[in-house]
Structure 1
Amino acid sequence: MASNLTPPHNRGMTVLDREAFKAEWTTLAICSPSTAVKQLTTALEDKLLNVSRIKSVVPVNNNAEKKYILLNLDIKDIKEALNDTQLELIKDYDIVPYRFQVDYDYWTTEQVLYSVMPEGDAETPSSFTTTGHIAHVNLKPENIPFKSLIAQVILDKNKKIKSVVNKTNEIDNTYRNFQMELLAGKDDMITELIVESNTSFPFRKKMSAVLNLIFPKYIGIRDYKQNIAGDVMAGVGPFSIPAVKKGAIVYANDLNPSSYQWLCENIELNKITSNISTYNMDGRAFIKKAVKDLYLESNGTKFFQHFVMNLPATAIEFLDAFKGIYKGINISSDLLPMIHVHCFTRSADPIQDIKQRVCQIMGGPIDAAFCNMQMYHVRTVAPKKDMYCVSFRLGPEVAF
């Protein structure tokens, strides 16, 4: 196993000084004819320098006929480290000290950041998520003094990254926009992401829809062909566009004008010309209008099989829009749509917590509101904060 070198400690550095990460090591080397290298390296296999990305055999200056065979850093005395057979093999060769240097470019992101963070920090802030050319970090308060350095290191070490941003604590309550602070790189927040089924999504990082940019991990829909779905909080189309490509008919809505604009542009970019209708309106109003529009457009012959509500911070609050949604419409109870709603919970009993909240908002008892209920843990977003997707068929007591 390769040994890991460690960079010089630069505790407390907040402005990146690349020169401060130069380091030098000295090890013992066997000066050998090139013709003997294979025999020696085979015999000394467990004694050779074993450091990541540092070669154990290097040229002697520009002399092609001689090589240095570098030994492990912990070998200080050849006679103690090698056995008799190995010593016999090298007895006619010079043993010399060999110095090798590494610089800032050698170290990984995590190694550089570990060396500058105050001693005792439990976590090195080297992780980030990537969308196109944008790296998104979630910095803890103790990391904020180092934010520019952290961003610059990420930029340096990841050639495809051109911009590094951090989510601030400011949220636009109307559109749920998380404000992004540019920490390093280009102020270019438009990027393109190729995701499932070769679907392209150019988008603006500052939009709320960025949180759901890739095809959602779990929606609850198993078969898309011939299904009609309403995407209540569609964002830039991370569910709607792939769903249409899978054979669904989708009515897609988002209240945010910027998200709506990019939703429409993404539909055009992906050369979708049918089976999708777009809306720019409040989620509650959309649910009612979409049901009415589909009913009128199909002369009462088609109904939604699914409604997707993928905005976990607030989606559950919009469930009251389903009260009486099919009143006066001739539809059997077994054709009522499945509802797939994402939500957050901090409860120790998440299933019971989500059930109670859903039923309270929908105004129906658990048994009525949760026909064929399924619940899926999507991910943990923070300590004691989990995201779930709950799927259930709209009950007739609520629908009618």
Structure 2
Amino acid sequence: MTKELIPPQNRGMTVLDRDAFKKKFHTLAIRVPTVLVKKYTTELEDKLLNAPRIRSVVADGTSNDSKLILLSMDVQDIEVEGCQVVPYEFELDYDYWTTEQILYSVMPEGDAETPSSFTATGHIAHVNLKQENIPFKSLIAQVILDKNKKIKSVVNKTNAIDNTYRNFQMELLAGPDMMITELAKNECRFKFDFSKVYWNSRLQAEHCRNQKLGDVMAGVGPFSIPAAKKGAFVYANDLNPSSYQWLCENIRLNKLSPNTIHTYNMDGRAFIRKAVAEVWADKLTFQHFVMNLPATAIEFLDAFKGAYYGMDIPVDKLPMIHCYCFTKSGDATEDIQQRVCQILGGPIDAAFCNMQMYHVRTVAPKKDMYCISFRLSPEVAFQQNTTGPIFVS
């Protein structure tokens, strides 16, 4: 095992100086005839310099008939019969070190977390920097650009996703201000303006083959478009005009028939009731509703109260609802169930509703995203409608 190779410590560096990351290392090497390299590397396997991206066998500057076998820096003294042991020096520079190694070497000592992670959305890298990382933001962004050839621009979120349209304010840290990006996901192509819409590449499309899907907060189509490609009949809605624009563009980009996806640009509650009524006009019903607005989606569940009032639908044909949400509770299941039941006005019948919940991802310390799935209960669906008449245009 080789001693860990670490870059020079440059604590407090805020302007990137690539030359400051050069460092020389010293070890031992064995000079062996070229024809015997395989023999000796096998015999000395546990003593070789096994370091990432560094060859254990290198050219011998003194002869074309021999090679140098580099030994682990842990080896201080060794004798190999018939071979000469010589000192060997090698230098590593900025190009060798990983993003995490470089950033760790510049962050103040004792920093609990090295800000090397990011979410890639096409050519854009999105970081969530903590307050203590802000003085280093330009350096962090430049290192990410240098080490990830597909990344062209780096942005930092400057506030939480808490407004009506779900897009966050951001600061461009490095690279050109090119926010229209394109990427492939779930065998589909997506194009959109990252600065104006909500996109989460870690979410997965529901399995809705040959079924009817209501996508209440569709964004640019990460659920709707893959589902439609698999044969689902989709109603997709988003209140954000920019999201709606790119949703329609992505439908064209993926060559989907307009009859496959019906698109809407309206409030989520109004959409739920309108979509249910429109589909029921043909004596059909949805199998799934997806609500991907984790900050507030639970609050929209009240739109299902009485949404099926007066409709002759078997209770086992009521839709499954997939609601994404955030929680900071130590007991995520209890917290989310309680909030859902409060909005729906009663408990979820676990036996009937087939309730499931899974962890999607951690978005911040002590803040997790979950998806709760359950079948809409008849008590909620068929209760007398108190929200007024539904007008279907």
Same fold, judged at TM 0.5 (above): yes
CA drift of 1:30 comes to 3.7
Q: Percent identity?
A: 67
What residue in structure 1 maps to residue 73 of structure 2? 73
* Higher mean displacement: 348-357 or 226-235: 348-357
In the alignment, what sits opposite 1:199? 188
Q: Which moved more, 1:368-377 or 1:98-107?
A: 368-377
CA distance in 1, matches of 2:118, 2:348: 42
Whole-angstrom CA distance in 1 between matches of 2:344 and 2:364: 28
Give the RMSD, CA atoms, in angstroms.
2.4
CA distance in 2 between counterparts of 1:75 and 1:394 reads 67
Cα distance, 1:43 vs. partner? 4.0
Using the alignment, how far apart are the partners of 2:306 and 2:114 within structure 1?
Answer: 52
Are the equivalent residues in 2 in contact too, given 1:7–1:112 (CA < 8 A)?
yes
- Aligned residue among 347, 354, 357 for 1:366: 347
For 1:5-16, what aligned pairs fall within 5 Å after superposition?
Answer: 5-16=5-16
- What residue in structure 1 maps to residue 297 of structure 2? 315
Matches within 5 A, 1:37-186: 37-61=37-61, 63-77=63-77, 81-82=78-79, 86=80, 88-90=81-83, 93=84, 95-169=85-159, 171=161, 173-186=163-176
User: Within 5 A, what are the aligned runs for 1:294-333?
Assistant: 294-296=279-281, 298=282, 301-333=283-315
Instruction: For residue 152 of structure 1, report the CA deviation from its aligned partner.
Output: 0.8
Contact 1:228 1:306 survives alignment (8 Å): yes
Matched, 1:383 2:365: yes
SS in 1 for 2:355: strand
Pair 170,309 (structure 1): closer, same or farther in 2 beyond 3 Å: closer
Post-superposition offset of 1:146: 0.8
Q: Tell me, in whole angstroms, the C-alpha distance in 2 between the residues paired with 1:393 and 1:75.
A: 64
Q: 1 or 2, which has the higher helix percentage?
A: 1
Which residue does 2:323 correspond to in 1?
341
What one-letter code is carried by the residue in structure 2 that aligns with 1:246? K
- CA gap of 1:369–1:283, structure 2 versus 1, over 3 A, is farther
Matches of 2:356 and 2:38, distance apart in 1: 61
Question: Which runs of no fewer than 5 residues in structure 2 stay unpaired?
Answer: 383-393
For residues 163 and 239 of structure 1, the distance between their equivalents in structure 2, rounded to whole angstroms, comes to 26
Structure 1 spans left out of the alignment, 5+ residues: none
Report how far residue 172 of structure 1 moved. Answer: 5.6
Q: Structure 1 residue 39: deviation in Å?
A: 4.0
Q: Is 2:28–2:72's contact at 8 Å kept on the other side of the alignment?
A: yes
Shift of 1:341: 1.4
* Number of the residue aligned with 1:17: 17
Tell me the residue number matched to 2:266. Answer: 281
Preserved CA contact (<8 Å) 1:4 1:52: no
Taking structure 2 as the reference length, the TM-score comes to: 0.88
The one of 235, 260, 267 aligned to 1:251: 235
The 1:62–1:131 alpha-carbon spacing in structure 2 relative to 1, beyond 3 Å, is farther
Q: Residue 52 and residue 4 in structure 1: after superposition, are their counterparts in 2 closer, same or farther (change >3 A)? A: farther
Contact 2:205 2:226 in 1 (8 A): no
CA contact (8 A) 2:353 2:377 kept: no
Q: Which segment drifts farther, 9-18 or 159-168? A: 159-168
**What letter corresponds to residue 206 of structure 1 in structure 2?**
S
State the alpha-carbon separation in 1 of the partners of residues 39 and 334 from structure 2. 70
Structure 2: which amino acid aligns with 1:266? Answer: N
Deviates more, 1:179-188 or 1:280-289: 179-188
Q: Deviations over 1:302-329 (max 9, x none)?
A: 1122211111111111111122222233
Q: TM-score, normalised by structure 1?
A: 0.87
After superposing the two structures, state which structure 1 stretch, 250-259 or 96-105, moved more. Answer: 96-105
Partner letter of residue 69 of structure 2? I
Cα distance in 2 between the residues matched to 1:15 and 1:142: 16
Q: Say which is worse superposed, 163-172 or 137-146, in terms of deviation.
A: 163-172
Could you say what secondary structure the match of 2:158 adopts?
Answer: strand
Contact 1:251 1:276 in 2 (8 A): yes
Q: Deviations over 1:257-303 (max 9, x none)?
A: 0000110011110110032100000001111111222233x2xx211
Tell me whether 1:240 sits opposite 2:216 in the alignment.
no
Residues in 1 aligned to 2:278 and 2:309: alpha-carbon distance in whole angstroms: 15
Matches of 2:306 and 2:40, distance apart in 1: 84
**Which whole-Å deviations, capped at 9, do the CAs of 1:159-214 have from their partners, x for residues lacking one?**
11111111112546121211222111222122222121x11111222244212x45
Pairwise CA distance, 1:2: 4.5
Q: Point out 4+ residue stretches in structure 1 off by more than 4 angstroms.
A: 367-370
Change (3 A) 1:30 1:264: same
Range that drifts further, 142-151 or 258-267: 142-151
Give 1:109 deviation, angstroms: 1.0
What letter corresponds to residue 65 of structure 1 in structure 2? D
Shift in alpha-carbon separation, 1:31–1:226, aligned structure 2, 3 A:
closer
Query: Taking structure 1 as reference, are residues 325 and 99 closer, same or farther at Cα in structure 2, changes over 3 Å only?
Result: same
- In structure 1, the residue matched to 2:387 is none
